[in-house]
Amino acid sequence: MALLQNILWAAFLLVVVLGFVTYAIYFERKVIGWIQLRKGPNRVGPLGLFQTVADVLKLLIKEDTIPNKADRFLFILAPVITFVPAFVVLATIPYTADWQFADLNVGLLYYFALSSISTIGILLGGWASNNKYSLLGGMRSAAQMISYEVPLVMSVVGVILLSGSLSLNTIVEGQAGGFWNWNFLPQIVGFIIFIIAAVSELNRTPFDLPEAESELVAGYHVEYSGFRFAFFMLAEYVYVYAIAALTTILFLGGWHSPLPFLDFIPGIIWFILKFSSIVFFLFWIRATLPRIRVDHLMSLGWKVLLPLALVNIFVTTIIIEIFK
C-alpha cells in the first residue's frame, strides 16, 4: 500500500511539474510581452493558452537527427543526464508540513548534489555533437555553472547555521511566527547572492551566454532537434520550479504566513503565492536586463559573490556565538 501511495504521489508531482513547465513558458512570454509593450502568444486557443501545447507537439513530431560523426551513445545520453536530476531533486521539497515526497535529514545537501549532475549532461551534449560551436557552448556553460555553484552553496551556509539542520522541514519550522523570523532578513546578503547565483545556474538572462545565438548559434544544444532538444528546455524550466521552491523554503518562510493572525489561511496558499512571486521575478529579470560579457560574468562569480558569501558565513558564525 505504501509503495502504491508513493507511486501515485510521484505521478501526481510529475503531472504538476509538467503542467507548470507548459504554462510557465506561456506566462513568461506574456510577461515579457507586457513589459516590452508586445502582445505575446495570442493566436492558438483563447488568449493564446494553447500556444505552448502546440510548440511542444511540434517538437515531439519533428525529425530526430543525429550528426553522422557524433558520438551516438553520448549524444542520446546527454539530454537524459540533464533532464532526470531536475525531477529527482524535487523529491525533498516540502510544500506544507504534511505535503512532501521524502523528508531527508540532509535534504538540502541532496538537492545540491543531484542538481550538479546536470552540468555533466550539458558538457556531454556539447562534446558528443562533434561541433566546435557546441563544444565551446558546453565548455562555457560548464565553467559558468561550476563557478556559480560554489557561491550558491556558500550562500545557504548561513541559513544552515541559523537552523542547525540540513533538513528543509526544520529550516522552514525555524521561520514560524511572522515575516520578521524569515531568513531573508538576517541573511539578506546570502539571499541576494543566492538569487544571483541561481539565475546564473539556470543559464537565464542576463547570464544566458551558453545559449547566445549571436555568439554560439544556440550553444551546446545546437545539433539537437525534436524531443531531445525538448529535454534540455524542459530541464531548464523544471529547475526554475525547483529554485523558486527552494528560495521560498530557505528564505521566505515556506508555508508560514507573513503575520500570525493570517495563520487561518492554508499553508499551501502561502507557499504558492511566494513561489509564484519568485517565478515572476525570474521572468521580470529576463525581460529587462541585457546579457553581460563572459569575463564580467566570471569576475562577478569569483571576485564578488564568493568573497561576499565567505564574509557572510564568518559574520553569521560570530553573531551566533555572541548571542547564543
- For the chain, the structural domain boundaries read 1-61, 69-323
What cell numbers appear for 128 in the block? 558528443
- For 69, other C-beta atoms within 10 Å of its C-beta total 9
Quote the CA–CA distance of 56 and 98 in Å, as a whole number: 33
6 contact partners, CB below 8 Å, separation of at least 6: 101
Q: What is the pLDDT of residue 189?
A: 94
Q: What is the pLDDT of residue 12?
A: 83
The secondary structure of residue 247, as a DSSP letter, is H
Report the predicted TM-score, pTM, of the whole model to 2 decimal places: 0.91
Axis crossing angle, helix 117-128 with helix 107-115, rounded to the nearest 10: 10
The secondary structure of residue 101, as a DSSP letter, is S
- Per-residue confidence of the chain (324 residues) as pLDDT tens digits? 667 877 787 788 888 888 898 899 999 999 999 998 898 888 888 888 999 899 889 888 888 888 888 888 999 999 999 888 888 888 889 998 888 887 888 889 999 998 888 889 988 998 998 888 888 888 888 888 888 999 999 999 999 999 988 999 999 998 988 899 999 999 999 999 999 999 988 888 888 876 665 555 667 888 888 888 888 888 889 999 999 999 999 999 899 999 888 888 898 999 999 999 999 999 999 889 888 888 888 899 999 999 999 999 999 999 988 886
> Please, what's the b/e burial string for 259-270 (b: 16 or more CB within 10 A of its CB; e: otherwise)?
eeeeeeeebeeb
Burial of 322 (0-12, 13-18, 19+ CB in 10 A): exposed
Decide: helix, strand or coil at residue 106.
Answer: coil
